[in-house]
Chain A
């Protein structure tokens, strides 16, 4: 009896992926305990976030991919409307217009687009399955560009780049020609100086500081300097859990959210960092495996894009903390404190599981 309940509950859960996710969450809680100054309240709040996010994962995993495919267009359109709503009526906080008040709830529509864009593009290319042509790719690029520009205008550079990446992965996996990719790459290199002038002051400053954080050691460069000191002083084996001086003495800013990796790297050292990268590799590898064996075009493209977006999160966050990428607001997946990003991630991972476990039902 209990076995049957267990089976029906876990029918659409991918055991391999789930184990790695849970391992990452446990690591995250341990780091959060240290980073948050041993605050039990913070731990409880994150535990609640995790429970909510895992429920979202379970529900999503139980929705067959065909249903997701049908939802793609409505979600995208809704997301787009909300983004326009933000641009017109959004609430300004920290100089950016990102939130929208809908009666009782306050939502961040850019978060919806992180899933909405790859879903729509996967849906679009699934419709033009038989060898997509350049025109389809151009159409896809347009569908991608609209939300990216809207989010960039908020301004939220980090999120808009992530949305762009998630859409680009779909285009790429759908067979965007190499020549085209190289061409665009070259023209971006040419256009970079022009783009530079279009960036907001604070964004430009961040990139400048990235190349030389000591320009402004107590201001904009403070994050990067303190984070690299934390990582570097962690050494090979780290200072030990709860013993990172940089973390415990309040030197690392935002150390429970975007900069939590600095705490991890200081306390667990290079060995810990490599192990964390391996854990992420397991999750990413499993995701790509699921994509490779997905049976529908939609599932394939979506699974591939979600996995690569997950990779992008991890790479951008660790890259910015270790000082090789600019500081953009991207949390470390499954580790950083915060509910919104966790729920979005779990939604994606739930879709992966759905694609993996609903295979036998599809007869193509």
Chain B
């Protein structure tokens, strides 16, 4: 019986439930019926009314894009500015037959294949009701000719757009950077930074160098206009507006004449030069060769030019001072020397008798000096002047790698310098811990030996090398390297200076500084490795040459410059500061595959220093001055340790 009752209950419950479902279904139908009649009311009965509203009575908030800030060099020479350009723009959503329209337009205003390609690309990226430029840089005649026929082309109009221009072309392209169209990644970054709304209406954003780092300052604050627009999207009248705030102007520490001298001094070679004012950290010259024309990127680079730049073996797009990493070679020796002296080693009158090689105790392997016969009796000062490898092999070994790198990192090696350009490479200052982490291998004593002459794993960027030189020139006070010296408000004209910033103060004994400096001055005097650089100079130059090997040389092989392909020749390095007694400029130069620091890299530095210190422009002399090769070739054998 209970089961029967349960069954009855169950049946009754289901019966009730289905009645309720029916009621619910009626509710659904009822509500959807209300919606459907609302659609009928809005979309059929009042269609005309809303159609008119949609067509005629549009109120739109239109962003007013601020003028981008200008960039000047230290003397007020314009490096980046804006100018108005007439562009012919099409709003695809308002044009019935796009192909025909473009064909008709091209009868009035020439439209090249490239223009078409760029137009199609931009059209694909934007929605149908955004106006997209078909042609830019219309001449007055072209603009006037189109204006006469404008009535024939609804949805096509001429606009004045602000374009970025870099009047100096390739000059300093890597440091100025460029602006390019805002892409998905930029949008993501802007969203994360909460700046996206400020970019309504902006098409471009800084993509490198100063343009990127100071994007916030340069861009300014977007204003807005509330306008009534007609069916074609033309503003009929402005209802209210908030004015945009123009971006701020930047004044750089770069001197464009000096920049030009530096770039031309490379005479087509690949490489980099960085010159710093050691007392402030201001970057006076920032050369990366070869360079490129940033104007190509502003309007979206075409594929031919992009391919040419991107696939060139000379890699013009690489920002060498920041991203190029090179073994420092012998330019590291003055810093190793200081490390030794500060650790209480090799202080005068200590000297060694150099037989042309160094061997680890109990080992037979010979770490050879670049001079096969050796330098004879060598003390610290002479070791720097003649760039004696043997002397530094022994010193590095005695100090040990940890102590050596501990000291060197104070000079910024293995760390980012903090320059105001994004994406800096920190180089590499190797330690046993690093090697274990990276290669899962123990540190060998021989690796310490070659670290002493700047070979092995050690890598520096030209910027780091210049920074380290500047720190030494400034008696151990490290100033943050920077390019922008002041930021100027576009409206009030008031500038706020970027203050020099002390990063670190290394305690160095004055007598050690003096010793190394004197040795470095000797480098540019007869008997030194860069005598050619010091020749005829009215001011004293403290310098050091260096060579960084590109390919490994076997133990018994001889480096034969003439028989080696140009791209396999050693890199030439050179660091200097002047005047030695009261340094005003510190320079680092790297010439890729330039072979000899003294003869190829050194003269470039000299030209830059001559201009900065004496105001002297280089003579129009042929570059055949490099007749006498400086006596330096450091043949390192470290490669075979890994062979």
Contact = CB atoms under 8 A, between A and B. Distances in A.
B47 A233 contact: yes
Given A243-B128, A248-B93, A281-B32, A236 B47 contact: yes
Interface string B33-52: 01110111011101101110
B17 interface: yes
A336 B55 CA distance: 26
Given A229-B50, A280-B32, 18 more contacts: A175-B20, A231-B43, A233-B54, A242-B128, A243-B93, A250-B60, A251-B60, A265-B39, A270-B43, A277-B36, A285-B25, A292-B21, A308-B27, A315-B32, A315-B35, A318-B35, A322-B35, A364-B10
B140 interface: no
Nearest to A225: B53
Contacts, number: 135
Contact of A232 (B14, B42, B128, B184): B42
A322 B385 CA distance: 87
A172 B21 CA distance: 9
Interface residues of A, number: 53
Interface in A37-62: 37-38, 41
A245 B128 CA distance: 10
Interface string A208-248: 00000000001000000000111111111000001101101
B261 to A, nearest CB: 47
Nearest to B32: A277
22 contacts: A37-B127, A131-B9, A172-B24, A175-B16, A218-B59, A229-B53, A229-B54, A230-B54, A232-B50, A246-B54, A249-B58, A249-B233, A270-B43, A274-B36, A281-B32, A284-B28, A288-B21, A300-B17, A308-B24, A319-B35, A322-B42, A323-B42
Contacts of A37: 126-127
A147 interface: no
A248 B128 contact: yes
B306 interface: no
B434 interface: no
B13 interface: yes
A235 B18 CA distance: 39
Main SS at interface, chain B: helix
B191 to A, nearest CB: 11
Nearest to A227: B42
A304 interface: yes
Interface in A256-294: 265, 269-270, 273-274, 277, 280-281, 284-285, 288, 291-292
A105 interface: no
Main SS at interface, chain A: helix
A234 B55 CA distance: 12
B48 to A, nearest CB: 9
A353 B38 CA distance: 33
A23 interface: no
Contact of A173 (B24, B50, B51, B127): B24
Contacts of B20: 172-173, 175, 304
A24 to B, nearest CB: 15
Nearest to B43: A270
Nearest to A301: B17
Contacts of B49: 232
A250 B126 CA distance: 13
A171 to B, nearest CB: 10
A280 B129 CA distance: 31
Nearest to A33: B127
Interface in A174-195: 175
Nearest to B50: A232
B28 A251 contact: no
Contacts of B433: none
B32 to A, nearest CB: 5
B129 A236 contact: no
A196 B128 CA distance: 45
Interface of A: 37-38, 41, 129-131, 169, 172-173, 175, 218, 228-236, 242-243, 245-246, 248-251, 265, 269-270, 273-274, 277, 280-281, 284-285, 288, 291-292, 297, 300, 304, 308, 311, 315, 318-319, 322-324, 364
B31 interface: yes
Interface residues of B, number: 42
A234 B35 contact: no
B40 A38 contact: no
Contact of A245 (B16, B28, B31, B54): B54
B53 A232 contact: yes
Contacts of A308: 24, 27-28
A323 to B, nearest CB: 8
Given A250-B60, A315-B35, A234 B9 contact: no
A233 B53 contact: yes
Nearest to A130: B9
Contacts of B126: 37-38
Given A235-B43, A236-B43, A315 B17 contact: no
B60 A269 contact: no
Interface in B102-129: 126-129
A119 B20 CA distance: 19
Contacts of B44: 235-236, 270
Contacts of B127: 37-38, 242, 248
Interface string B51-70: 10111001110000000000
B31 A311 contact: yes
Contacts of A41: 184
Nearest to B47: A235
Of residues A232, A245, A251, which shows the largest number of chain B Cβ atoms within 10 Å of its Cβ?
Answer: A232
- The 8 A-B residue pairs whose C-beta atoms are closest, nearest first, are A232-B50, A233-B54, A270-B43, A248-B129, A232-B42, A37-B127, A233-B50, A235-B47
A242 B14 CA distance: 48
A103 to B, nearest CB: 21
A356 to B, nearest CB: 15
B93 A232 contact: no
A50 to B, nearest CB: 20
A245 B25 CA distance: 37
A228 B50 contact: yes
Nearest to B184: A41
A315 B31 contact: yes
A322 B21 contact: no
Contact of A270 (B16, B34, B40): B40
B25 to A, nearest CB: 6
A281 B28 contact: yes
B284 to A, nearest CB: 43
Given A231-B43, A232-B50, A288-B25, A322 B38 contact: yes
B239 to A, nearest CB: 10
A243 B92 CA distance: 11
